[in-house]
Structure 1
Amino acid sequence: MSDPTAPAPSTTDLSLWDSVDDLWTWLDTNRPIAGQEGLLLRILKLSEEVGEVAEAVIGATGQNPRKGVTHSWDDVQAELCDVVITALVALRTLTPEARAVFGHHLERVRERSLGAGGAS
């Protein structure tokens, strides 16, 4: 059951899976390497994006004394969004049923973490 106090979905929410499909189509049409190798490279792209999150966090906190503060927390947010997009496109690459697979998995994680009653 949905939360009546939750904000209405934004246009971005409503078009998330359309956008994932559009990006998947574009990448699939323009990929230089096809087949199993192309699939593995698409999944490995996640590691690159996660590395960029780490780089942004280190830069936002100034943890590299040689470089100092090089990123903002807005940069970290953008890099986290890139991770999510890359993961969803990789999932779409594995299955045309990505939306259902993700929804089912999310519900399982929610149930496992929050229980049948949901968040309080």
Structure 2
Amino acid sequence: MTQQRTPHCEPPDLWTSVEDLWTWLDANRKHDGETGLVLRMLKLTEEVGEVAQAVIGATGQNPRKGVTHTWEDVQGELCDVVITALVALRTLTPDPAGVFERHLAGVTERSLGPAASSG
């Protein structure tokens, strides 16, 4: 029996994917203006709740349900939080990459010192 190789696929570019997701969501939004903005931000809270649910499920903390999730499920939910946050950031600025990179540099310098953020 021969093993088939899956063709190598490049992972999607982060910021291109964020832009594509934002464009798709914006074209399919149900609410405009401030209501739409607030709902986009609230989606992040929903995703964080799903992380909590997955952690509770992975640890079997609910005796009625037992173990319902894996740590891989938690990883996926954390990825959903990151994606949702980046799309929310794109909702607030046309330059989410620049805003994020500047903020990350500031957090890194504040936490690890000036030498850490200079590369």
Q: 5+ unaligned residues in a row in structure 1: which ranges?
A: 1-10
The count of corresponding residues between Structure 1 and Structure 2 is 109
Match of 1:117 among 112, 115, 118: 115
Hey, what's the Cα distance between the residues in 2 that align with 1:116 and 1:109? Answer: 10
Hey, what's the Cα distance between the residues in 2 that align with 1:71 and 1:19? Answer: 27
Pair 1:44-2:42 in alignment: yes
| Partner of residue 62, structure 1 | 60
* Residue identity matched to 1:109: V
3-state secondary structure, aligned to 1:42: helix
* Residue identity matched to 2:87: V
Q: 5+ unaligned residues in a row in structure 2: which ranges?
A: 1-9
| Partner of residue 103, structure 1 | 101
Choose 1 or 2 for highest CA Rg: 2
**Identity of aligned pairs, percent?**
70
Hey, what's the Cα distance between the residues in 1 that align with 2:79 and 2:47? Answer: 9
- Structure 1 position 34, deviation (Å): 1.1
| Partner of residue 78, structure 2 | 80
TM-score by length of 1: 0.87
| Partner of residue 15, structure 2 | 17
Q: What do the CA deviations read for 1:36-58 (whole angstroms, capped 9, x no partner)?
A: 10010000000000000000000
CA-atom RMSD in angstroms: 1.6
| Partner of residue 28, structure 1 | 26
